[in-house]
Amino acid sequence: MVEPFLHGKFSDRDRNLFGHWSRGNSGDTIFALFFQRKNSRKFNLRFTKRNELRKTTNAYRILHGENDFFPGVTIDRLNSTWVVRIYSSSLLAYGRWLVWNLYDICKNYKLGEPQPKRILFDPAEKIGDDKLIFRRHNPKDTSTTSLSSEISDFPLSLAPSTPNLKAEENNILLKSNLYNTTKRIEERLWRGKYEPIKMKTDPTKDSQKSIKRKDNSEKEPLRIRETIQLYGIRFPVELPGQKGGIFLDLRNLRRFLLEKKELSKDKNCLHLFSHTGLTSICMEVAGANSVLSADGSKQALDSFQRVLSLRKKRENDCKHKFVQKNLFQELEDILKDKTFGLIVIDPPNLTPDAKSKQNAFRSYSYLFGSCLASLEESGTIILCSCSGRIRSEELESLAQNILKTKGWTFERFTSLKPEADHPIRKNFPEGNYFKVHIYENCKKN
C-alpha cells in the first residue's frame, strides 16, 4: 500500500492549489512542525523587506499571496488593524492557520512588526465560482458533524489555532450547494473589538430601522475607522472597504507625486477613477492649484469629501471639485472646455477574464486618447492599469501609438516598479498586475 506523499487543497472551481508535505497520518505532526518552521522563516524574511516602508507609512501589505509564496491569501496592515482576504473556499482553513501563526510570530518585537489590535476577515467579492458560506453546527445533528469535502481532510496538526474567539467563529464552513440553513459569510472580526460608528440619521427613519432589526434579528453592519499615514499625510479610512479604501498598490505613484512636486505644483489636475481620494490629496500636498476628482461611485466621492472636512491642516488653497459620472460613457462631459497640467487615469480591472482583453484595449484607448486632447502643453499624463492580463509592454505600446497618431511627443517615460510590500516573481508573471506609466513634458507637434 502506497502512503500519500503530498496532501493538498484543490477546487475545480478556482485556480488555487495548496499542498503540504506529509507521509500519511503518522507523519502529520512531524511534517506539520516542519511546515510551520519553514513558514516562520518566510514570514521573518517578509517582515525584514518591509522595514523601510514602516518609516514612512503605517499602511502596507504584510502578505501578498502567490507573490509571497502563499497563494490565495493577502493580509494588509492599516494602522492597528489587519485586513485578511482569502480568495478560494478551498483555502479557508489554511488561511486562518497562516493568520494565527503570523500573529504569534509578531510577538517577537525584534522583527519590528507589532501585533494588531484587530484582525478583520473581509471576504473577497468572488472566490472562484464558490461563495463563502457557513452553517451553524448543530451538535444534535450527527449528519453534519464532519467538515465539508473542501476542508474535511485538513490534518488536525495543521488546524488553525483560534484563541480567544467566540463560538460563532468556529462555525463549520460549507459550500454553496447547501441550502435552507446556509448563509453567505460576511465580514467579521477574528480578533479585537470595535466601537460602532455613529452616523447622523433621521430619528424617525432610525427608529423604524431599529424596529426592523429587532424583528428580523439583523445585526449592525461592521464598521471600523482607522487613520493611516503616508509621508506625514493623515488619511482616515473606513473598514471594510475595497482594498482598505486606499489601494495600497498605488503607493508608488503617490510617492512619485510627492517627491516630484513640480508635476502638480500650480497646475490644474484631473484624477479619473479617484476612489476615496488619497492620490488627489497627494496632488494637493505637492502644490496643485486645483484637483478635479471624478468617479462613478457616489459612495467613494462622499467618503472623499468627509476626509477633506476632517483635515484641519491644508497645505495650500487647492480647490477640490468632484464629479460623479460613468467615465466610460460620459468622459467628454467632464473634459469639455477644460485643460489640465496633470492627468491621472486609474481605471478598475478591465480584464476579469481572457475574453475581455480586446474590450479592455478599446477602453484604455478611449480614456487615454480623450484625455490627451485636454492636456496642457508640457503637461504630464499618467496611465495606470491593474488588469493582470495586459502586459506592461502592451499598455506602453498602446499609449505611445496614440501619442504618435495624435501628433504628441513626450520628453520622459517612466514605468514605476512595485514597492517592497508588492513583490513580483519572474516565474509568476500574472502577479505583476499593476502598471503605472508616466509621460512627462508632453508637447503637441
Please write the tens of the pLDDT for every residue from 227-284.
999 998 999 998 887 655 688 999 999 999 999 999 999 999 999 999 999 999 999 9
Question: With respect to CATH, is domain 238-444 assigned 3.30.470.10?
Answer: no
Place of cell 478551498: 90
Pairing of strands 435-444, 412-415: antiparallel
What are the pLDDT digits (tens) for 71-105? Answer: 889 999 999 999 999 988 888 888 898 899 899 98
Chain Cα centroid distance, residue 297: 17
DSSP 329-384: TSHHHHHTT--EEEEEE------SSGGGHHHHHHHHHHHHHHHHTTEEEEEEEEEE
Place of cell 468627509: 306
Tell me where in the chain the CATH 3.40.50.150 domain(s) lie.
238-444
Tell me where in the chain the CATH 3.30.750.80 domain(s) lie.
6-191
- Residue 218 pLDDT class (50, 70, 90 cuts): low
What is the percentage of the chain residues whose pLDDT exceeds 70? 70
What is the pTM (predicted TM-score) of this model?
0.76
pLDDT at residue 31 in the model:
43
**What gap in Å lies between CA 30 and CA 14, rounded to an integer?**
30
The set of cell numbers assigned to 138 is 448543530
Contact 37, 48 (CB under 8 A): no
pLDDT at 119 exceeding the cut of 60: yes
pLDDT at residue 163 in the model:
43
pLDDT, average across residues 154-168: 41
Contact 283, 262 (CB under 8 A): no
What are residue 262's phi and psi, to 5 degrees?
A: -65, -20
**What gap in Å lies between CA 258 and CA 56, rounded to an integer?**
12
Higher pLDDT, residue 340 or 101: 340
Contact 222, 194 (CB under 8 A): yes
Q: For 181-186, which contacts have Cβ atoms below 8 Å and span 24 or more sequence positions?
A: 181/135, 181/136, 182/133, 182/134, 182/135, 183/133, 183/134, 183/135, 184/131, 184/132, 184/133, 185/123, 185/132, 185/133, 185/134, 186/123, 186/222
Q: Look up the CATH number of domain 6-191.
A: 3.30.750.80
